[in-house]
Amino acid sequence: MAHVFDLADNWPADHVSLIVQGWYAIPTDDGGADEDYGNWDLDGATWSASNPEVYTPIPYAIQDASACNGGHRMVASKLRPLTGIYSDTGKDAASIAHIDRMLGVIPRDGDPRGRINTICCTLGILAGTSHYGYGEGDPEYTRGLDTRYRHLDKMLERANEAGLTNCVTANYEAYYIWNYFSDDYTSKLSRLGQVAIDISQLVIKLKDNPAAFKVDGRVVIYWYEGTLNIPGVGVEAISTAEWSGVMEAARTAADHDFFVVGRNHGANDVSWLDGLFPWIRYQDYLNADGDTIREKASNWAQDAYTAYIEPAVAANSGRVGLGNFSPGFEDYVLEWGAGNATRAIPRSTETIKGQFDGYQAIDDAGERLDGLVIVTWNGYPEGHCIEPTVGDNGEFLGLFTEQMAAYTGETPDSADTEALLDIWRTAPKTITCPAPYRQSGRQALVPPGRSTAG
């Protein structure tokens, strides 16, 4: 199927997309409906036997009074969700209520809410998930991947029940096929073939769903390639022609043309993408000039546009260029980054304001961004969360929506902002602390060497 690169002609102005990590769960022995805790529980030096004391040995398994802070559980993060821990699977009423709260950021009926237009549910490959009917006990079943698939599935369902349209899609992470299934897919061709099958299956799932995000009637998929790192082999490069072939095969199988919006770090040809955005890029933050937090954040935003977005959009007609927004970075999972070093970008209102200063400076130069991608809603292990936490009590989410209003020429209403934040501030904590000692059967969701900061 021939693809037309005309996303820029149809893209909604100042569109805001939200990357969501649907990898959290609560097991049945703790009041939930799942098999484990997902990424609330990242214990020990899981990635490296040679460095056994990188993390607190069992950060989630022991829940006694000394591990609690104001009734909040100890989790694999320096942050704590304001509503307490939650499940993303949608298997019980508490998890569904959490998903409904997340959908609370989507504008509706004249209420701007969070001024966030699309929720991008991050997931890995579909093989081994309930999409194909697999469940606990099946040899092919992969619990962590299924948690993420169920999150997308339930998000679409709840959006439709709320009458919300054009607001949910998938953020696909291709590296899972390399890191988790190297024994099942032993060649590059077989791995790329499975990615093409997955993308076609997602597009078939989304193309007739009213809640799914579409532009000009075509599904929009977000794309996080990551590092395709094969254990024992190293990084396997995928060419532009190979990614283009994957998308062509997926379009043909789905009988539907679709758009792909992916992250760009400037090292690769991105001509196969319809839209692009930079990820957090921690090292770029360190390199940015600025005597204050706000100045440094402003230059960080502008530098990312100049390095990764402007040249790629200029070289490829019909593409959209989006800015990255992050409320900061408070690293817990040291081994997701290089050198087991703690990484930090101040979680601060000045970091938020500085990024919007940078977006405005780009606009003042006559090269306005086509929108923003928020990285992320709930990336707790690395601490780049805009979801209300115990530390900020919703201040960061509230500031984002008001800064976004000012950036787009609106006058923010503080009453609207407070109503938005009350969704989280008044929500009950269904899983309390302390709880009995338990050792969970954790299944890692992120392979060695993977970092969202990269």
- Chunk the chain into consecutive blocks of 10 residues (it has 454) and report each block's average pLDDT, rounded to whole numbers: 95 98 89 87 42 36 46 72 91 96 94 96 90 87 91 98 98 77 69 91 98 98 73 67 94 98 77 93 93 98 94 94 94 60 86 98 96 95 90 95 96 94 89 47 36 51
According to the 3-state scheme, what is the secondary structure of the chain? CCCCCCHHHHCCCCEEEEEEECCECCEHHHCCCECCCECCCCCCCCCCCCCCCCCCCCCCCCCCHHHCECCECCCCCCCCECCCCCCCCCCCHHHHHHHHHHHCCCCECCECCCCCCEEEEEECCCCCCHHHCCCCCCCCCCHHHHHHHHHHHHHHHHHHHCCCCCCEEEEEECCHHHHCCCCCCCCHHHHHHHHHHHHHHHHHHHHCCCCECEECCEEEEEEECCCCEECCCEECCCCHHHHHHHHHHHHHHHCCCCEEEEECCCCCCCCCCCEEECCCCHHHHHHCCCCCHHHHHHHHHHHHHHHHHHHHHHHCCCCEECEEECCCEECCCHHHCHHHCCCEECCCHHHHHHHHHHHHHHHHCCCCCCEEEECCCEECCCCEECCCECCCCCHHHHHHHHHHHHHCCCCCCHHHHHHHHHHHHCCCCCCCCCCCCCCCCCCCCCCCCCCCCC
- Beta strands 214-215 and 371-374 are unpaired
Rounded Cα gap, residues 176 and 187, in angstroms: 14
CA distance 416 to 405: 12
What's the whole-model pTM score?
0.90
What are the domain boundaries of the chain? 7-425
What pLDDT score was predicted for residue 438?
35
pLDDT of residue 227: 56
CATH of 7-425, one of 3.40.50.1820, 3.20.20.80, 3.40.50.11310, 3.40.50.720: 3.20.20.80
